Chains A and B, each alone.
Chain A
Amino acid sequence: MKADIKVALVGNPNTGKSTLFNTLTGLNQKIGNFPGVTVDKKTGLCTLPDGRTAEIIDLPGTYSLYPKSQDESIVFSVLADKANSHTPDLVVVILDATNLKRNLLLYTQVADLKIPVIVALNMIDLAKKSGIAIDIDLFSKKLGVPVVPISARKTEGIDKLKQAIAFANKVALQEASIDVEAIAPQLIAQISDELEIDNPYFALQLAHQHEIVKFLTPQQSDRIEELEHEFSFHSQKSQATETIARYNFINDLLYDTVKIPETAKDETISNKIDKILTHRVFGLFIFLAVLLFMFQSIFSWSAYPMEKIGDGFAWLQNYLHTVLPAGPLVGLVVDGVLGGLSGVMVFIPQIAILFAFISILEDTGYMSRVTFMMDKLMRKVGLNGKSVVPLIGGFACAVPSIMSTRTIENWKDRMITIMVTPLVTCSARLPIYVLLIGLVVPNKNVWWIFNLQGLALTGMYIFSLISAIVVAFAFKLILKGRERGYFIMELPVYRMPRWNNVAFSMYDRSKAFVLQAGKVIIAVSVILWVLASYGPGDRFTQIEKKYQQPRYAKQFSPDDLTRAINSEKLENSYAGTLGHFIEPVIKPLGFDWKIGIALITSFAAREVFVGTMATIYSVDGNADKIESVQNKMASAKNPQTGQPVFSLAVAFSLMMFYAFAMQCASTVAVVYRETKNWRWPAIQFAYMTVLAYAASFIAYHLLK
C-alpha cells in the first residue's frame, strides 16, 4: 500500500517516542534498512481521520542533530536528503512535557531545517501531576507550529495528533529560533551558493556532517572541506556557540510559557529506588540475583515450548515422509530444509524470554543503572559499561547481542565488545554441554545440595565469561583507539514497564532472529544434507549391493539393517570423506573422524552437533532425543583400544572446542554487517579457532 504522506518521529531518548510509534501504527510495522547503513529503519502505517494513510518512520532517539553514535547519525540524513524516497513530508517532534528545556534543543534544530513540523507534547499527564503549568496556546503561537498535548502511555490525545497530522501544512511555518548565519556567515553563504541551498541551517549542518551524509558527491564533500579550511571553520566551536544560542532562545520561550513549581515529586521515588538498587554493597548483589533469576527463567520456562516445537517439526517431517514419494527432492526439502528450520525454531522461546527480560530491564530504567555500576570494572578490561548488555545477551544468542552494541559510541569499545561477545556461552552450546557432561560427569550430589553435573555446567558458563574478559583485555592492548570515549549518559526516572512494548519486543526480535539466522541455517543445512547424502563415485550403490546379500537379512532385523546401511553410507559420503580427511589434524585433540564430521557441520551452527551425532551414531527417529544419542555415544568403543570413545578427556576437549570456536555462520554474517569490513569477522574467526584448538589440546592432554 502506498502512503499518502510520510511522517518522521523525532525526539530525545526516554520521551516515549517508541510508545507513540507503537500506538500510532499498532502491529502494522516493518523493519527495513536505510540505504548504505546498518541502522534499522522502523516504519509503520497509520490511518488518518480523513481516510488517508500516513507512513510513520521512527527515527533513533537523539539529543541533537549532531550525532554521537552510529544510530544517531541517521536522523539528519533522513531529514535532510530531499532526493530520497524516505524523506518525510512532515516531522512530529516529541517533547517530554515534564522537562521541556533540553527537549526543545532538538526541536529548534529540526525546525530550522524548515521542514513542516508538529509538536507532540508527551507525558502531559505527568507534567500536570507535578504542577507544571504550560500555556499551550502561547507556546504554539511563539513556535509557530501546532502543539498537541498527549500521553502516549495512556493513549490520550492520539486522535488529536492524528488530526493535526492530517491537517498539517505542506510548507514550514515555524518561527526562526536563532540567527544561524551569525555562526559562520561566509562559510554558510558560500556553501549555500555553490550547492544551491536556500536554507542557512541546512548549509551549516552540511559543513559539520558532509563526511557522514550519503547524499553528497565526493566532489561536493571535498569542496565543503576546502571551504572549511578557507574560512577556518571549527566544528566543535561552532556547535558550542550554536547550542548556547539555542538555549538562550529556549530560556526566553519557557520564561513566558511555562511555570514550574519548586519541587518535583516524581524524582524522589526514583531516588529512593536508586538508593537500594545502586547501593554500594547490595547494588551488585541485586544485579547478580537479577541475572540468576533471568537465566533460571530462560532455561526453565523455555523447556516445554522448545520440546513442543521440536516434536511438532518431527511430526511434520514424519508426516511428509509418509505422504510424499521418497526421492532426492523430497529428502532435501523434508530433511534438509525442515530439519534446518527446526534447529532455528526451537530457539525462539529462549530468544523471546531473553528479550522480554531485556526489554523490561531497559523499560524500567534498570539497565542504565547496571551500565552505571559496571562501567569501572568493564573499562579496566577495555570494555565499557554499555558492553554489559550485549555480554548478558550473549548468553542467549550472539546475533542480536552484537546488533545491540550500536549504542556504544566509542569505536574501540564497540569493536572489542563485538569481538568477545561470541565467547559467552550461548543457548546453542547448551545442548552440547548437557550431552557431553551427561556422558562423563557422574550424576551425584556433593556438599548436600550441589549436583556435580550442574556444577560442571555452571563452570562452563563462568569459564566463558572469564575468557571473554581475558580476550577483551588482550584486544585492549592490541587495538589502537581512533577516538576518545566518554560515558555521559542519562539515567532515566524509574517507570513501570509497558507490557505491550515487552510483548512487541518479544515478537519483533524473534521474527528478526528467525529471518536473519534462519536464512543462513537453511542454506547451510541444505549443503550439509547434500554432502551427507551423496558420496563420491559409486560407493553408495556398492553399499546398497553389499547389504542386499541374504546373510545380512538373516543377521539383522529390517530396522537394524537400515541403520547399518545409513551409517556406512555416511562414512562414505562427501561429509564422511571430509571427516576422514581432517582426522590427522584433530587426532591430537582426541577426536576421531565421526567427531570431525560433527565439527565441520557445526561450523554452520553449533546446534547441528547433536543432530549430526544422532545421524552418525545412527539413532532412528527424532534427532532431538538427547537421551538416546547419549546412550549410543556412551557405548561407542574405539575399534583399536576397545576403550569408550567419549572418555572424560575427549568430552572436555570437545567442550573446550565448542566454548571457543566460532561455529556460527549467523554470527559471522552479523559481525560483517555491523563492521562493514570482512577483516573483523576474519580476525574473529581466526583467533577463536586458534584458541579452540589450543584449549582442546591442553584439556585433552591434561585429562588423558
Chain B
Amino acid sequence: MTLSELVPGEIGIVKEFTDLEMSVKLMEMGCLPGEPITISRVAPLGDPIAVKVSGYQLSLRKFEASTIILQ
C-alpha cells in the first residue's frame, strides 16, 4: 500500500520508494525507510496533503505520496 491510501490520523511505516529522483528529495527532507509516517491533514481543496515524519511536517502532492510504499 502507498502513503496516498492512508487516511488522516493513520500511521504507516515507510518501506521504499517507486521514484528514484523523488526518493532522494524525500530522504533529504527526513522521509526515510523505517520511519513512522502519518497524514496530519488534507488541504482544503483535497490536494496536497500534510504528513508528519521524523519530527517534521511536510507537504506533498497526492501523486508524490503515491510513490511512497508503506510496510
Contacts and interface: CB of A to CB of B under 8 A. Distances in A.
A493 B56 CA distance: 8
Interface in B25-51: 25-30, 32-33, 40-41, 43-48, 50
A373 B60 CA distance: 11
Interface centre among A237, A243, A281, A372, by most chain B C-beta atoms within 10 angstroms, is A372
Interface in B55-70: 55-61, 64
Given A66-B24, A274-B40, A376-B46, A491 B59 contact: yes
B20 A236 contact: yes
Q: Which of B28, B32, B48, B52 has the most CB of A within 10 A?
A: B28
Nearest to A266: B55
Interface string A265-295: 0010011001100111101100000000000
B57 A236 contact: no
28 contacts: A63-B29, A66-B24, A98-B55, A102-B28, A102-B30, A236-B20, A240-B24, A243-B28, A244-B27, A267-B52, A274-B41, A274-B50, A281-B44, A284-B44, A372-B43, A372-B50, A372-B59, A373-B45, A375-B47, A375-B61, A376-B43, A385-B48, A484-B21, A488-B26, A488-B29, A488-B58, A488-B59, A488-B64
Interface string B3-38: 000000000000000001111111111101100000
Contact of A279 (B22, B25, B44): B44
Contacts of B58: 488-491
B71 interface: no
B54 to A, nearest CB: 6
A372 B47 CA distance: 8
A490 B24 contact: no
A99 interface: yes
Contacts, number: 106
Nearest to B58: A490
A375 B43 contact: yes
A278 B43 contact: yes
Which of B23, B24, B26, B46 is packed against the most chain A CB atoms within 10 Å? B24
Given A376-B45, A491-B50, A64 B28 contact: yes
Contacts of A274: 40-41, 50
A377 interface: yes
Contacts of B59: 368, 371-372, 375, 487-491
A328 to B, nearest CB: 60
A549 to B, nearest CB: 73
Given A102-B54, A491-B50, A486 B25 contact: yes
Closest 6 CB pairs of A and B: A102-B30, A376-B45, A491-B57, A63-B28, A64-B28, A99-B55
Contacts of A267: 52, 55
A632 interface: no
A162 interface: no
Contacts of B43: 278, 372-373, 375-376
B61 to A, nearest CB: 5
B66 to A, nearest CB: 12
Where chain B touches its partner, the secondary structure class is: mixed
A284 B32 CA distance: 32
Interface of B: 20-30, 32-33, 40-41, 43-48, 50, 52, 54-61, 64
A105 B60 CA distance: 21
A264 interface: yes
Interface size class of chain A, counting residues whose CB lies under 8 Å from the partner chain: 35 or more
B56 A99 contact: yes
A376 B28 contact: no
A388 to B, nearest CB: 13
A264 B56 contact: no
A186 interface: no
A637 interface: no
A264 B57 CA distance: 13
A240 B27 contact: yes
A237 B28 contact: no
B20 A240 contact: yes
Nearest to B60: A488
A38 interface: no
Nearest to B65: A488
Interface in A103-151: 105
A672 interface: no
Interface in A290-338: none
A248 to B, nearest CB: 10
A103 to B, nearest CB: 9
A154 interface: no
Contacts of A99: 30, 54-56
Contacts of A491: 50, 57-59
A401 B44 CA distance: 26
B20 A237 contact: yes
A487 B56 CA distance: 16
